[in-house]
Amino acid sequence: MDELNYLITEHLKCSKIYEENAPWVIKNSNIGGRGLFANRDIEIGEVIYRDNAIILGPRSSMLCPMVCVSCYSQENLYPCSRNCGLPICSEKCENSDVHFQECQLLVGWKRECLYQEINSSLMKCLTPIRSLLLADNKKLLLNLLKSHHGAQHGYEVDILKGKLGLNFKEEEENLMRLTCTVLDANSFEVTVGNEEGRSGLRGLYPLSSLMNHSCSPNTMHNFDKHRNMIVKAAVFIEKGQELFHSYTRLIWGTPVRRTHLERTKHFFCTCSRCNDPTEFGTNISGIVCQKCGDVALPLYDSESHVEWKCATCKFVLSNDKVCLLFRVLGSRVSQFDECDDVEEILKFLKRQIRNYLPPSNQISIELKYRLVWILGHNPKYLWNDLSDDLLKEKEEICRELLKLLEMLRAGQSKMRGLILYELYRCMQEWKRRYRLADDHRALLEEAKEILKDDVNAPKEIQNVTAWIHRHVHDEYTKQFINNIV
Ligand SMILES: C[S@@+](CC[C@H](N)C(=O)[O-])C[C@H]1O[C@@H](n2cnc3c(N)ncnc32)[C@H](O)[C@@H]1O
């Protein structure tokens, strides 16, 4: 533990983000392995620490779009002129430190097989290659992090060797394989880009790698423009409590979260939310009982066996039948990915699925969340063009989602920040249409508080805070302006 603590401290110091007396400490956790703990009371919204990635790069997923391997832009990509096969977007990126070194490595690995075109498989397998360029103390740190075992981890190295025929040394292969297993256990998705094109990178943040999971986490995180991770308290955290973040989405129901955690992180979650079939009274995993019309909830009698039981009439439905129902509804929902037809989505939500799912079910919630991003944003549904009925619809959905997050005890989550801001914009639109007086500043203030240092936050919030940072240097004036903008 001492060595880990030392190496992490050095890493944070070297990244110039180390804070003396920061409120975290590394200790053994009852949950398993090591964890992070509060070494004093931490106020809601307080920054607990900042972390910097020791490895950052493209994700290996099929869905990962092509990005410049230096600045991660998706625009003006061309193959590196040294024929390494990686996409870059400018001379500056081509000659950046990070790319120049990996380029030399790749070109050295197989001279007769240089790529004049962009090779997308190579780009998707680049992140583990980057571990070869780490300084020795970062390699030591990598070695101390949790790794996953199993045939599914390390396929990137198989692609580099097999499909791409690259020829590296055994010790290089071993380090890349280790890196894949460490990345799979610990990496975070880092979103880059703007409204026109976003993509996800994976980053290995060593301090955050020590944080265990809870489905009702007490921290939230976002990324600043330097891709530092900023971890904040989502709720008040008492001295001695373990710090948790969520490895899944908050609005997924228990069976979906548990399956995801088992597949990707190899553990069965037994947190208080998972152990409560109602999930704190939200019934987010519930289905409509086909016998009495009340809600049936998932009941686990072992890690691998779940069935759905109605609390009122005790009717039981097998997991197979429920999975079939979710598959059918899920495929209908995925058709909405291509069409942003609000009338169709509302018809589906209000009429078609009502016989199968209660309004609080995860599928309904995901669709409502999607509506939040269509109404007011999609070119067919811009704020000015929304009918009063659709504006009301959006306002009600925002309020419903905020209530749900409160019931899930999610505290100051990023999702709360985004929905608060969307609700604020609804209220501004009502104000504009009917010349109302109330400007609902409290909604904007809280959204700003949650999202202020998030590089992906809505422009309005970022612009305000960025301007203040650039132009105002004394705290009193900063606070004054923060209160009036
Ligand atoms: C990112 S690591 C967390 C730090 C880890 N405990 C360590 O010692 O390095 C993720 C791994 O920690 C364990 N873990 C995290 N949260 C857990 C939980 N709620 N229940 C059981 N195991 C958990 C699992 O083995 C998981 O794959």
DSSP state letter for 132: G
Amino acid at 385: D
Taking the centre of ligand 1 as the mean of its atom positions, its distance from the CA of residue 189, in whole angstroms, is 17
Q: If you measure from the C-alpha of residue 152 to the centroid of ligand 1, how many angstroms do you get, rounded to a whole number?
A: 18
User: Would you call 87 helix, strand, or coil by DSSP?
Assistant: strand
Question: Percent helix, strand, coil in the chain (nearest 5)?
Answer: 45, 15, 40
Atom 26 in ligand 1: which residue has the minimum CA distance? 265
* Burial of 236 per CB tally in 10 Å (0-12, 13-18, 19+): middle
Superfamily of domain 1-53+206-243: SET domain (2.170.270.10)
pLDDT of 464 reads 52
33 CA to centre of ligand 1 in angstroms: 7
Find the 19 Cα to ligand 1 centroid distance in Å: 25
Ligand 1 binding pocket includes 349 (Cβ within 6 Å): no
Distance CA 403, CA 481 (A): 30
Rounded to whole angstroms, how far apart are CA atoms 418 and 411?
13
Residue 34 Cβ < 6 Å to ligand 1: yes
- Domains of the chain, residue spans: 1-53+206-243, 58-168, 375-484
What separation in angstroms does the CA of 1 have from each of 7, 17, 206, 208, 219? Answer: 10, 21, 13, 15, 23
Q: What are phi and psi of 144, to 5 degrees?
A: -90, -5
Q: Are 405 and 414 in contact (CB under 8 A)?
A: no
Strands 55-58, 197-204: pairing is antiparallel
pLDDT tens for the chain, residues 1 to 485: 899 999 999 999 999 999 999 999 999 999 989 999 999 999 999 999 999 999 999 998 877 889 999 999 999 999 999 889 999 999 999 999 989 999 999 988 875 556 778 889 999 999 999 999 999 999 999 999 999 988 788 899 999 998 888 889 999 999 999 999 999 999 999 987 665 566 789 999 999 999 999 999 999 999 998 899 999 999 999 999 999 999 999 999 999 999 999 999 999 999 999 999 999 999 999 999 999 999 999 999 888 789 999 989 999 999 999 999 999 998 888 888 777 899 999 999 998 899 999 999 999 999 999 999 999 999 999 999 999 999 999 999 999 999 999 999 999 999 999 999 999 999 999 999 999 988 899 999 999 999 988 888 877 776 555 544 444 444 444 443 343 33
**Is any ligand 1 atom within 6 A of the Cβ of residue 242?**
no
The DSSP line for 180-239 is: HHHHHHH-EEEEEEETTEEEEEEEE-TTGGGPEE-SS-SEEEEE-TT--EEEEESS-B-T
Q: What is the pTM of this model?
A: 0.90
Q: Is 186 in the pocket of ligand 1 (CB under 6 A)?
A: yes
- Ligand 1, pocket-test mutation among 26, 27, 146, most atoms within 8 A of CB: 146
186, burial (CB in 10 Å: exposed 0-12, middle 13-18, buried 19+): buried
- Would the CB of 32 count as within 6 Å of ligand 1? yes
Burial tier of 321 (Cβ tally within 10 Å: 0-12, 13-18, 19+): middle
- The alpha carbon of 28 and the centre of ligand 1 are apart by a number of angstroms equal to 11
CA 218 – CA 13 distance, rounded (Å): 26
Per the DSSP assignment, residues forming a β-bridge with 37 are 25, 242
User: What distance in angstroms lies between residue 222's CA and the mean position of ligand 1's atoms?
Assistant: 20
Counting ligand 1 atoms within 8 A of each CB, the residue from 3, 144, 188, 265 with the most, and so the one to mutate, is: 265
pLDDT (0 to 100) of residue 479:
47
Distance 465 CA to ligand 1 centre (A): 35
| CA gap 57, 155 in Å, rounded | 16
Q: Three-state SS across 305-325?
A: EEEEEECCCCCEEEHHHHHHH
Residue 270 Cα to ligand 1 midpoint, Å, equals: 12
